[in-house]
Amino acid sequence: MEWTPAMLWLAAALALGLAELTSGALLLLALAIAAALTAATTALLGLPLSGQLLAMGVLSGVLVPLTIKVIRPRFSPKGVAYGTTGTGAQQGRHYLTLDRDFDGASGLKINGDFYRLRVADSSTTRLPPGTDVIFKEFDGTTAIVTLASAGTPSQEQ
């Protein structure tokens, strides 16, 4: 049996589809669909290699953004906005400090993730658990906070 270009594209689509099972990001699935569609256009139109690569590029350019923007959010849990931590969306919100179990580090939970803290304009990295703080910004993976005034209501996030 001789391998045709369409069969090679189908093999690539199969490999990408199987690789998607390990990632779950849907990116490889979009590339697998693009490769399968490239195989179909190659078989129907008999495209040369340059045409096949152009078809794969165009199909990938359409399907990858479509998958990430439209399809992927439907597989995400409700209420989770991926990619918002660190963009300033939490700036000015109140949080209660907590200590991490295994090393006792002081920090905050923002969108379910623990971030070590540092008090702004100081080198203080340790606060008692339950201290009301206001998130200011990130410095790498460290949350920069200011102490909340005593009269400000706490809204743990």
pLDDT tens digits, residue range 60-112?
A: 999 999 988 888 777 766 655 555 666 677 888 999 999 998 888 999 998 88
Please state whether beta strands 142-147 and 94-96 pair in parallel, antiparallel, or not at all (unpaired). unpaired
Express each pLDDT in 7-55 by its tens digit. Answer: 999 999 999 999 999 987 789 999 999 999 999 999 999 999 999 999 9
Summarize the confidence of residues 129-147 as an average pLDDT: 92
Round to whole Å and give the CA distance between 7 and 34: 14
Q: Is the pLDDT at 139 greater than 80, yes or no?
A: yes
Q: Are residues 109 and 69 in the same domain?
A: no
Q: Are residues 13 and 52 in the same domain?
A: yes
Q: Are residues 62 and 104 in the same domain?
A: no
Of the candidates 141, 147, 156, which has an alpha carbon nearest to the alpha carbon of residue 127? Answer: 147
- In order, the DSSP letters of 90-115 are TTT-EEE-EE-TTT--EEEEETTEEE
- Asked whether 138 and 115 are in contact (CB, 8 A), the reply is yes
Q: Is 155 part of a structural domain of the chain? A: no
Q: Is 84 part of a structural domain of the chain? A: no
Q: Is the pLDDT at 154 greater than 60, yes or no?
A: no
The range of the structural domain enclosing residue 19 comes to: 5-75
- Domain count across the chain: 2
Helix axes 49-66, 5-23, angle to 10 degrees: 30
Q: Are residues 50 and 102 in the same domain?
A: no
Q: Is 80 part of a structural domain of the chain? A: no
pLDDT value at residue 111:
81
Q: Is 35 part of a structural domain of the chain? A: yes
Q: Is 87 part of a structural domain of the chain? A: no
Rounded to two decimals, the pTM is 0.53
